[in-house]
C-alpha cells in the first residue's frame, strides 16, 4: 500500500523546478495509512513560507484522489528543518541537467564558519571559475551566478 502511494507521489513535482519530484527534494517525511481510503502525507517545507508548498500540497491531494483515495490529508512538519542535504543524488543530477548548479555539499557549514560563498561549478561547462551576481535568482531559493569561462549566467540552488 505504502509502496503504491510513493509511486503515485513520483508524479508530484516542484512547481519551480518541474524536473524535480518531491521525492528528489526529499520533503516527504512519512506516509500514514489511516483506513481503506484515508491517508496522511507528512511533508517538510523546503523553507518556511515557500509559496511552492501550497501548490505541492494541492498537487499531492489531486494525484492521490485521482488514484482512488477519498480522504487525503497533507501535514507540514517543520522540525527537523529541511536542508539541501536531503536532495537525492538523482535530484542533484536532474538539477544540473536542467541548468541549475546543485547545492555544494558542506557549503552550508563553510558559509557558517568562514563566511565565504561556496565554489560552485558551472552546470554547462563544469568550470569552477564562477561568480555570484545576486543572492536572489529567479526565485528566493536560488542565487544568480555567472561562469567566467563560458560567460553564461546560471542559477545556483542555494544551500540552507
Ligand atoms: Zn561555464
End-to-end Cα, the chain, rounded Å: 33
CA 147, CA 122: separation in Å to the nearest integer?
Answer: 6
Report residue 10's pLDDT band, with 50, 70 and 90 as the boundaries. very high
pLDDT(79) > 60: yes
Span 44-65, mean pLDDT? 84
Q: How many Å lie between the centroid of ligand 1 and the Cα of residue 36?
A: 52
Phi, psi (degrees; rounded to nearest 5) at 21: -85, 165
Span 20-38, mean pLDDT? 91
Burial of 148 (0-12, 13-18, 19+ CB in 10 A): exposed
Q: How many Å lie between the centroid of ligand 1 and the Cα of residue 77?
A: 38
Span 45-63, mean pLDDT? 83
Q: Can you tell me which residue has the cell 528528489?
A: 24
Q: How many Å lie between the centroid of ligand 1 and the Cα of residue 117?
A: 18
| Residue of higher predicted confidence among 139 and 21 | 21
pLDDT(78) > 80: yes
Q: Helix 52-66 crosses helix 2-9 at what angle (to 10 degrees)? A: 130
- CATH node for 2-76: 3.30.300.130
Closest Cα to residue 24, out of 49, 6, 51? 6
State the sign of the Cα–Cα–Cα–Cα dihedral 79, 158, 94, 15.
Answer: positive
Q: Can you tell me which residue has the cell 536531503?
A: 86
Domain parsing of the chain, residue ranges = 2-76, 99-157
Q: Do residues 63 and 158 make contact, with C-beta atoms less than 8 angstroms apart?
A: no
Q: How many Å lie between the centroid of ligand 1 and the Cα of residue 149?
A: 5
Neighbours of ion ligand 1 (CB under 5 A): 122, 124-125, 127, 147, 149-150
Report residue 74's pLDDT band, with 50, 70 and 90 as the boundaries. very high
CA 92, CA 41: separation in Å to the nearest integer?
Answer: 24
The x, y and z cell numbers of residue 121, run together, are: 561549478
**61, 93, 101, 49: CA torsion to nearest 10:** 20
Amino acid at each position: 500500500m505504502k509502496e503504491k502511494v510513493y509511486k503515485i507521489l513520483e508524479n508530484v513535482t516542484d512547481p519551480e523546478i518541474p524536473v524535480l519530484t518531491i521525492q528528489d527534494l526529499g520533503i516527504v517525511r512519512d506516509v500514514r495509512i489511516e483506513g481503506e481510503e484515508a491517508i496522511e502525507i507528512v511533508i517538510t517545507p523546503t523553507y518556511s513560507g515557500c509559496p511552492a508548498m501550497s501548490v505541492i500540497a494541492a498537487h499531492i491531494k489531486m494525484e492521490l484522489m485521482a488514484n482512488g483515495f477519498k480522504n487525503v490529508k497533507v501535514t507540514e512538519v517543520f522540525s527537523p528543518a529541511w536542508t539541501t542535504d536531503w536532495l537525492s543524488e538523482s535530484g542533484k543530477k536532474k538539477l544540473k541537467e536542467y541548468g541549475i548548479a546543485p547545492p555544494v555539499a558542506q557549503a552550508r557549514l563553510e558559509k557558517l564558519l568562514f563566511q565565504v560563498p561556496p565554489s560552485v561549478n558551472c552546470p554547462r561547462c563544469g568550470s569552477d571559475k564562477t561568480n555570484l551576481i545576486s543572492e536572489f535568482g529567479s526565485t528566493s531559493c536560488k542565487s544568480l551566478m555567472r561562469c567566467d569561462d563560458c560567460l553564461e549566467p546560471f542559477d545556483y540552488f542555494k544551500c540552507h
